Every structure is written in C-alpha cells, then in structure tokens.
Amino acid sequence: MDKSNYRDMWVHVEHDGKAVHPVSLELLCEIRKLCDQSGDALVAVVPGDVTESEQEKLLACGADKLILVSGTGYERYNTEAYSNLYTVLSRKYRPSAVFVGATVNGRDFAPHFAANLETGCTSDATELIYNPETKDIEFVEPAAGGKIMAVITIPVLRPQVGTIRPGTFKCVPTGKKEHVEIIREEVSFDPAAIRTRLLGYVANEFDPELDIANCETIVCVGSPVKEESLPKYRELAALLGGKLACTRPVVDRELLPYKLQVGQSGVMVKPKLYIGFGVSGAVNHVTGVDAEKFIAVNKDPAAPIFNYCDYGIVGDMDEVCDAMLAALKA
Amino acid sequence: MLKILCCVKQVPDVDQMRMDPETGNLIRAGVPAILNPQDANALSAALKVKETYGGEITLITMGPPNAEAALRECLAVGADKAVLVTDRAFGNADTLATSYSILSAANTQDTFDMIFCGKESLDGATGQMGAQLAQRFGMAQVTSTLLIKDVSEETGTAVVERELDDGVETLEVKLPCLFTIEKTNYPVRIPNLKGKLAAKKKEITTVTANDIPDLDRGRIGDPGSPTKVPRMFPPVLPEPGVILDEGSLEATVAKLVDIIRA
C-alpha cells in the first residue's frame, strides 16, 4: 500500500437529527491541529440530515470539507449501514485517517468498518501526535490499567482509524476557513439487510445520585475501600454537598454501579472539589478528573495520586474519613 | 438447541502490576493471570440463555497453554466445553489478527447461533473485539447488551435491551448474532465444589495454527496486526501536591477541612 495515495483526515459527525454531538466538535478542533502539521484537509463526514446551522458549527471548527451523505439506511443508528458507509466512502476517497467519537454507537461501528477495510483501529487515545518523518499518527494511550503509556501506530495500512472518548479534547473552534467545500454523496444501504429492528426506546430517568458529571463535589473511593465503609463515604459526600463516586476496581467488585465510575472509561468529571480516598492515581482515572481543588488520601506515600493532587494526606482512608466526619459535624 | 460460543480471555491482573521506578518498565513477573472480569459477566448471560431456552455453551480463548485455567473456571460454572487456541504463531496479535484467528479456529469446531463477549478486556481495554468478531463471522451484532429478553429458535430472532449513552433501546435482532454484555444484569457466578469437579472432566480442545486448514498466516500474529506499539513510557507525573502533616490526625484533618472550606 502506498500511503501517499491516502490523504485527508476525516471526523465522523454523530448527531440526532437536530444537534451535533459535542465529541464530534471536540475531534474536529483537535484534528485541525494535526492537519495543519500534515497538510491534509480536515473533512467532516455527516451521515443523514443536519441543519445548516449545525453545518456552520462544523465549519467553525476549521473543517475544509463537509461530506453530506444521504441515502437509505440512516433513519436510526444501525451497525450495518454505518459500517457500510465508511467502507464505501473510504474506498472511494482514500482518507489517511478516520476519527470517531467513542460514544456507544461510535464504538459499535468503527472497529467493524476497520475490519471490513482490513486496517488498524485504535481506541481511547488521550493524545494525538503527527510524526512528519513516518507520516503516521501516534495514538498515545494509557495501557495496563493506566500504569504505563503506550504509543500505537498503524505504520503500513490506511486509513488509520481511531475512536476517542468524549471529553478527551476541548472544543476550541478556530474559525471558518475561507475556502470550504461541500460534497454531497449518496450511499444507500438496503434496509432489508439491517438485521436489527427497533422495538422501543426509553430515555434514562434522571437519577441525581448517579449524576456525577455535573456535581460540584466528588468523594471518590478507590480499590481498597471496604464494603462496610461505603456508608461513611456517602455521608461525607452528603455533608460536603456532593456525591460518592469510585474507580474501576470498585465497579469490578460490584460494590458500586458503573455510572459512578470516574475516569476515561467511565464518567469525565469537572467538580470544584475532588477528594480521592485510596485512589492510586492510574492515568485512566486521573485523565477523567478536572477539579479546581484536588485532594488525595492514600496510605502509600509513593502513590501517583499525590502527583495530581493539590493537597494530600498520607494515612488510612477510613481513619481520615472518620476524622473528617467528626470535624465537619463539630 | 442453541449453539452458543462464549469468548473469554486470560489477562494479567493489572491492578497488581507495578512499575519499576528505575527502568520505568512494567514488572510482569509474579502478577497473577485471571479471567477477564467482564468475560465472566458475558458467560453469566450465556448461561442464563442456556438455562432458559436450552443450548450448549462452547468457550473459546486464545492465549498461552496456561490459559486453560481460565477455561476451567468457566467450565466450573456451567459452560459445556472449551477450545484453547494456542500457538506462538498467534502471539503478538492486535484485535484485527485476533478476530481472524478466533474465527478460523471456531470454524474448525462448529457454527454458532449466538456469540457472547465481554465488553472489554482489563489489559488491552480496546473494546473492539466484539464488533470485529461479528464482522469476521458475518453476523449481526448488539454491543452494550443490557438484557437478553427473549430468544426464539423458531423465528431465528432475539429481543434484547441495549444500553445507550442516554437511554435504553429494545431491539429485535436476527440470529446468528454476537452480543457484548453489560455487567448490570449478569453478575459473575462463583463455582462450587461440584462444579469444579465436573469441570475437570469436561473437554478442552486445543487448536494450533497447523490444525486450521487454509489458515492465512499473513493475517495472524504480528504479521497480521496493522497496529504496532513502537514505544511505551511511564506516565509523565506532575509535580507532587502539598502533603499535609500537622503532627496528629485530628490536626491534619482540621487543616484539610479549612482548605476545603476556603
């Protein structure tokens, strides 16, 4: 494969018919920087209809081209039509890279079309670097539970496919380009070949206890937490006007639900106050925390969490929690 | 009878991995290998389907010979038989090469109506295997499956709930289909003594590269893997924060509370 035949970086635009998903705008803004270095055009690919005002948002993020795709099969999300669309268009246009927001549906079709194309797919990079010598994208991502960072490349094949978690990059639009191109494509998929049929949809009921993405204080417990100690951390969170959350190992032990998992593979949080108890500080976790005041309690003075915190206490998490409860109630 | 394939993986317990502060390398020695936690949830879903509708569960894993331990663990809670895909030629595979290898090995055994996978592995954590396996098998897929509500062999369909970012959709899907399972409704089953004894007698079939006719060796292992890992490095740690120590726990916590209230 001659890599020089593959140009331009694509961003899949996820939308619900009304609004573009924020992750698509985040990706456009970040990939704009890569394109400025590589000389590729930045292309936003939009399956189905979005309004002109939403198209303008895509252009404001610096897209050089929009590919608006019409046809049958896109009325609701399904693996087959979306995978087919990127398979067909990638063969036609030969993009160098395709980026997809790692929403539930993005993670569903991106690896699928990458396999269709027999190319590589990476997931959850936290940093993207363009290497001008190899002309490859370096996908930097936490590995082994965040103990180490791995650089992943797709050195031979194209396109380079990557899914990126929402909230990984910031949406900072650099403005509309002077020359933009709107391309209309029709890629129809036979609805009879879609093997799923939608029977119903129920929106999540809003549960304030699980809404950790938008709360101002988070008390986060890590893997050493004892099941019987959970109530006191919940009490501490309540006293501080916040919510209880946790790290992945706590969810793996089925002590708390997945919706309370903070981190890259869980919920990205941006509280005013974050207090981590027994949290080791794995990269996957800390990249999901954007706190104004970051406090860590851990009995291991060498725990990486102390490098991310503003203030730390080296000590037994339960004893510190008890003392905090006493002090706050005093 | 439903023929069910359940894909599992033995992984290093990353929570017990430590980094060598001198070299920045991960210390793998002494780190126990465990059954990938989310695969245990997928197996629970497969078992529930088997118990409700009848069926036979075949496990498949790719890994070193000692991955047999993970298979025995799954056999002990009710899977019927297992396939261990093991060969140095399969080593260093990324998800694309692994999906082709699993397809090729599974095809030497049987065809399947339902395939169950965990949502992601503890070590690689790409979450890609399910979708890539479904592509390889050419079957439908439902990722983030919350609940298998009904399975009908007669109509060749299943009704399932799928967890989205903002809600839950109910889908009817044509079989054969691959499901990746959310753990919510499928807690891990713990083997009992009887199960463990029964597991010892169950059959594990080993499949090597040579056992697979027409295997394309360019599509397995390192040569078949388009993604590469040119380098690893320890996370760059920011400068440490202020460690509070006022002599006693009470005084230290009082100081912390002042900071919180500031």
pLDDT of residue B21: 67
Please check whether residue B57 is in contact with residue B50, taking contact to mean a CB–CB distance below 8 angstroms.
yes
Report the DSSP beta bridge partners of residue A143: A148
Please check whether residue A164 is in contact with residue A265, taking contact to mean a CB–CB distance below 8 angstroms.
no
A192's CB contacts (< 8 A; 6+ apart) are: none
pLDDT of residue A209: 85
Separation of alpha carbons A56 and A58, rounded Å: 5
pLDDT of residue A283: 87
Please check whether residue B36 is in contact with residue B8, taking contact to mean a CB–CB distance below 8 angstroms.
yes
Structural domain boundaries of chain A? 3-193, 208-329
- Residue A249, chain B, CB below 8 Å: the answer is yes
Distance to chain B for A199, nearest Cα, Å: 5
Separation of alpha carbons A278 and A226, rounded Å: 11
Separation of alpha carbons B31 and A175, rounded Å: 50
Radius of gyration of chain A (CA): 22
Residues of chain A with C-beta less than 8 angstroms from the C-beta of B126: 111, 121-124
Mean pLDDT of B125-154: 97
Asked if residue B176 has a cis previous peptide bond (ω within 30° of 0), the answer is yes
| DSSP assignments along A264-277, one per residue | TTSB-B--SEEEEE
pLDDT over 70 percentage in chain B = 99
Question: And the tokens for A299?
Answer: 């009995």
pLDDT of residue A147: 81
- Condensed to tens digits (0 to 9), the pLDDT of residues B184-223 reads 999 999 999 999 999 999 999 999 999 999 999 999 999 9
Q: Within 13 Å of residue A118, how many CA atoms lie on the same side as its CB?
A: 9
Residues of chain A with C-beta less than 8 angstroms from the C-beta of B37: 252
Separation of alpha carbons A64 and A44, rounded Å: 8
Binary contact (B241, A122; C-beta < 8 A): no
Please check whether residue A140 is in contact with residue A129, taking contact to mean a CB–CB distance below 8 angstroms.
yes
Closest among A128, A175, A177, A187 to A153, alpha carbons compared: A128
Separation of alpha carbons B207 and B86, rounded Å: 6
The fold of A3-193 is Rossmann fold (3.40.50)
CATH of A208-329, one of 3.30.70.1170, 3.30.365.10, 3.40.50.1220, 3.40.50.1100: 3.40.50.1220
- Which of A1, A96, A103, A108 is best to mutate for the B interface (most B CBs within 10 A)? A108
- Which of B25, B243, B259 is best to mutate for the A interface (most A CBs within 10 A)? B243
Which value does ipTM take for this structure? 0.94
Question: And the tokens for B11?
Answer: 């992984």
Please check whether residue A81 is in contact with residue A122, taking contact to mean a CB–CB distance below 8 angstroms.
no
Binary contact (B169, A315; C-beta < 8 A): no
Between A266 and B251, where is the model more confident? B251
Which among A104, A115, A314 is the nearest to B99, CB-wise?
A115
Closest among B133, B127, B141, B124 to B99, alpha carbons compared: B133
- Residue A120, chain B, CB below 8 Å: the answer is yes
Domain range B2-235, CATH class? alpha beta
B50's CB contacts (< 8 A; 6+ apart) are: B2, B4, B56, B57, B78
Binary contact (B232, A151; C-beta < 8 A): yes
